[in-house]
């Protein structure tokens, strides 16, 4: 119980940070809707029963009981909503291109936030990136590397008798030995200069025919002046988005096994990074902001990307999709996504939590 109590401030910071990312997303929808002349009826921080609210102009600003995100209620956006014929400020009465911008603004705001965070980190605390050496950074608890006795700061100098020059060569050696013993020559962290490398026997886990050790590369902090940090912030955010999309592409083409994390798994990673310090935590928030933007851009029903597909069709053909059909598709998509989240949490996040 004492351990849980000690973690409460960290968990609270994690919940607030994740909630802030969702609120920023909804703020994008709100600002675009106001710019487009739409009537925003409510902006809620959190979900569920409203515990506090105040009306400013035509918008009710509310705080709700469940502090995990928020939502924006735009008049005329809900399927089947009764809108007066002369109501020109409803979402459904606006041109398709304006509705497109309103939907686009949510994930775009997450991506913009990620760029701003990258610029701020590079200009101050530093944005960490792999140093490409064969030095081990994080060791995942319960993984093959921890079982073998590898520790943060160890440098792998050989694998199966062959020299290892950098992180890429180490990864290739591990991937090539799923479920097989792999002798590693390791220069221990903190060992006296000139000490002979120790031999560590690693047995990578077999993940669909690919070896996995449960290690991450050593990271170095990249810092720059304010002007350089702007260009580097754009570049680093775009590069990371490219890596994520490349990983998704490999999963789709079955070149890589999908490793999904639900809300619980993401919260675990955020809590772990919060305990590691301010810079690692902010970097994790930066990464999740990019992932939220990409996830919401995916052309799947119930997501912003799915809604954009319908709007692109409308702009190209000048015909609206039947609202009832669109509502059914989005509802079905929401049910499937919700089921996937539950499944990932029950069969992925929770087993990983108990293994630790």
Average pLDDT value for residue range 122-149: 88
Average pLDDT value for residue range 79-92: 82
Class of domain 136-217 (CATH, top level): mainly beta
Checking if the pLDDT of 264 tops 70, the result is no
Average pLDDT value for residue range 248-252: 70
Q: Which of 131, 135, 130, 160 is nearest to 150 (CA)?
A: 135
Checking if the pLDDT of 2 tops 50, the result is no
Name the phi and psi angles at 134, rounded to 5.
Answer: -90, 20
* 118 three-class SS: helix
pLDDT tier, 252 (very low <50, low <70, confident <90, very high otherwise): low
List the single range of 146-155, 161-170, 190-199, 299-308 with lowest mean pLDDT: 190-199
Distance, CA of 87 to CA of 81 (rounded, Å): 12
Facing residues of 186 across strands?
A: 156, 198
Contact 96, 102 (CB under 8 A): no
Residue ranges per structural domain of the chain: 2-125+269-355, 136-217
What confidence score (pLDDT) does residue 257 get? 59
């Amino acid at each position: 119980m004492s351990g849980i109590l000690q973690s409460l401030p960290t968990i609270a910071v994690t919940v607030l940070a994740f909630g802030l990312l969702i609120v920023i997303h909804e703020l994008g929808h709100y600002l675009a809707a106001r710019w487009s002349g739409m009537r925003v009826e409510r902006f809620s921080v959190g979900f569920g029963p409203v515990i506090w609210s105040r009306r400013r102009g035509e918008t009710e600003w509310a705080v709700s009981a469940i502090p995990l995100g928020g939502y924006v209620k735009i008049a005329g956006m809900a399927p089947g909503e009764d809108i007066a014929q002369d109501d020109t400020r409803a979402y459904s009465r606006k041109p398709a291109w304006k509705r497109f911008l309103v939907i686009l603004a949510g994930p775009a705001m997450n991506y913009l936030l990620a760029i701003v965070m990258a610029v701020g980190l590079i200009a101050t605390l530093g944005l960490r990136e792999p140093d490409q050496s064969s030095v081990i950074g994080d060791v995942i608890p319960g993984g093959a590397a921890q079982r073998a006795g590898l520790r943060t700061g160890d440098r792998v100098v050989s694998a199966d008798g062959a020299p290892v020059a950098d992180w890429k060569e180490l990864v290739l050696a591990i991937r090539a030995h799923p479920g097989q013993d792999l002798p590693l020559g390791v220069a221990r962290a903190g060992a006296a200069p000139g000490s002979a490398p120790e031999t560590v026997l690693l047995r990578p886990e077999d993940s669909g025919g690919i070896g996995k050790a449960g290690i991450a590369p050593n990271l170095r902090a990249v810092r720059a002046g304010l002007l350089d940090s702007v260009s580097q912030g754009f570049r680093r955010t775009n590069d990371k988005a490219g890596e994520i999309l490349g990983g998704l592409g490999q999963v789709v083409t079955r070149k890589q096994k999908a490793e999904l994390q639900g809300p619980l798994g993401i919260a675990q990673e955020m809590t772990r990074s919060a305990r590691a310090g301010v810079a690692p935590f902010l970097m994790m928030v930066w990464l999740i902001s990019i992932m939220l933007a990409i996830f919401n851009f995916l052309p799947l029903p119930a997501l912003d990307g799915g809604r954009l597909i319908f709007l692109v069709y409308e702009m190209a053909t000048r015909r609206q999709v039947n609202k009832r059909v669109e509502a059914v598709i989005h509802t079905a998509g929401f049910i499937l996504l919700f089921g996937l989240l539950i499944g990932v949490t029950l069969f992925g996040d929770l087993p990983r939590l108990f293994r630790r």
